[in-house]
Structure formats: structure tokens, C-alpha cells
Amino acid sequence: SFRDKLSKLIEETELNAVVIDIKDYTGTISFETGDSEIDALNKNGVGCKVSDMKDFVESLHDKNIYVIGRVTVFQDPLYAKTHPELAVKRKSDGGVWKDRKGISFIDVGAKPFWDHIISIATSSYAIGFDEINFDYIRFPSDGNMKDILFSHTGATAKKEMLRQFFAYLDSKFAGTGIVTSADLFG
């Protein structure tokens, strides 16, 4: 019924783009990517999943709709649960740190995670998304900030670590045709 409402809205208005969550705040990927590592991890995801994402994207293209896929990057409880060694830590006891809502983050400096994000983006582009939008490309900002430890970022300045992440994305997407965008958190 949601798709029917969306189609009607597209037909009756000037809408020409749609943003679809590829990876939501829980870390769940909304469709099977064909990447065995991502799909195995995603079996434990609790967020929304779409069984026919490729067909859905094609149906939007048939209506001349530009399809943007949103990837929540460093806010990722699912990956933190599976790879706690890459998560933001509590300084007090080394456990996985969580914000006020109980959501865990991956340390921006955890470079093995960067390739996970690259894989999600390339898999999404391969099924037809026109653009990959990266969100939550940031360090946590709420919760007990006095008990937080970025063991992978270490002494590197936050802005420098973010610069390195963006440079890595740029180097991996160069020449691929993948269009990217980023949401910025003020």
C-alpha cells in the first residue's frame, strides 16, 4: 500500500527523486546484496527488508524517478554487535559504548569497516541506485561523552580522521560512475 501511495504521489506532483534506506540506523541492509559477507551479517538485522528492491528501483526508473540510496555509516549497532573490537568503547571498562537511545557506533578510525561501507555502496549501485547518500558520517554526539573512547581513531584529530574516510571513499569510487552525496550534521 505504501508503494501505491508513493506512485500516486509521483504521478500527481512534481516529485522526481526518492530516497530509500539501504542501511538504516540499526545497521540492517534493506535487501540481499549478493555479497556473502554482508548478507550473512544482515540475517541478524532487525530493520525493514525489501525482497524485490531491484524490481522496485526499476519501477521507479520507469517513472523517470531518480533513486537515491541512504546508507547510515558509523551509527551501526548490528556491526558493533558482530565486531565489538571496531566499536566506540566505554573508557571505564572497555565495553561497547552506547548513546542515550542505546545505539552503538563504529569508531570512525576503524578502517576495516570502511571496506564494509564500500561493499554496501557498490552492491547498491549494481542493482540500480542512481546515487549513494552517506549519513551519520560522524562521531557520536550524545550520551555519556565523558566515558567514551575511540581506540581506532586514537590521537588523530576527529576532523582528520573524517577527512581520511572521505578520501578513502573517493579513491575507491574514482572511475566507477558511482554518484555519492553526504548528509552533514551541524
Q: List the beta bridge partners of residue 131.
A: 68, 179
Mean pLDDT within 80-105:
97
Mean pLDDT within 104-109:
98
Nearest to 140 by CA among 102, 179, 169, 178: 102
User: In a 3-state reduction of DSSP, which class is residue 50?
Assistant: coil
Q: In angstroms, rounded to a whole number, what is the distance separating the alpha carbons of residues 13 and 158? A: 42
Q: How far apart are the first and last CA of the chain?
A: 35
Q: Is the pLDDT of residue 186 over 80?
A: no
Q: Is the pLDDT of residue 91 over 80?
A: yes
Q: In angstroms, rounded to a whole number, what is the distance separating the alpha carbons of residues 80 and 74? A: 10
Query: 162 and 138 in contact (C-beta within 8 Å)?
Result: yes
Q: In angstroms, rounded to a whole number, what is the distance separating the alpha carbons of residues 34 and 37? A: 9
| pLDDT bracket for residue 116 (50, 70, 90) | very high
Mean pLDDT within 117-137:
97
Mean pLDDT within 102-114:
97
Residue 180 host element (H or E): strand 179-182
Q: Is the pLDDT of residue 47 over 80?
A: no
The residue among 84 and 42 whose pLDDT is bigger is 84
Q: In angstroms, rounded to a whole number, what is the distance separating the alpha carbons of residues 126 and 145? A: 39
